[in-house]
């Protein structure tokens, strides 16, 4: 069985260094486990923080190519992550809190 392609969702705007470390750690964890991971920081690397709309458009397109959304612990404080959650849940994608997903996949 193929592993699902994962999209990482969490707070970025207003966080120190745009929360890059938290996203990078989650991305590394899942890639080390053999997952294909989509990280918003990698999608929007060339955009400035004030180009939120353009980044969200890119992220939504990328999210639609994934199987599962992984929510970081701060996602509820983020407008963008809330949009991603609502969209994913609304179309029937699998959506997991990162800690729960890690528990489910570990033997």
Per-residue pLDDT tens for 67-95? Answer: 999 999 999 999 999 999 999 999 999 99
pLDDT at 1: 63
- Which domains can be identified in the chain, with CATH numbers? 6-105 (3.40.50)
What is the token pair recorded at 49?
């923080």
pLDDT at 107: 67
Convert the chain into a string of H (helix), E (strand) and C (coil).
CCCCCEEEECCCCCCHHHHHHHHHHHHHHHHHCCCCEECHHHHCCCCCCCCHHHHHHHHHHHHCCCCEEEECCCHHHCHHHHHHHHHHHHCCCEEEEHHHHHHHHCC
Per-residue pLDDT tens for 30-67? Answer: 999 999 999 999 999 999 878 999 999 999 999 999 99
User: How sure is the predictor about 106, in pLDDT bands with cuts at 50, 70 and 90?
Assistant: confident
Rg of the chain over all Cα atoms, to the nearest angstrom = 13
């Amino acid at each position: 069985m193929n592993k699902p392609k994962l999209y990482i969702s969490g707070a970025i705007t207003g966080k120190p260094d745009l929360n890059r470390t938290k996203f990078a750690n989650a991305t590394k964890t899942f890639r080390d486990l053999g997952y294909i991971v989509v990280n918003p920081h990698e999608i929007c690397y060339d955009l400035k923080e004030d180009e939120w709309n353009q980044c969200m458009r890119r992220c939504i397109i990328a999210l639609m190519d994934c199987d599962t959304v992984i929510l970081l612990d701060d996602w509820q404080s983020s407008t963008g992550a809330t949009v991603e959650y609502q969209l994913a849940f609304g179309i029937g994608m699998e959506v997991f809190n990162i800690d729960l997903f890690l528990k489910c996949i570990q033997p």
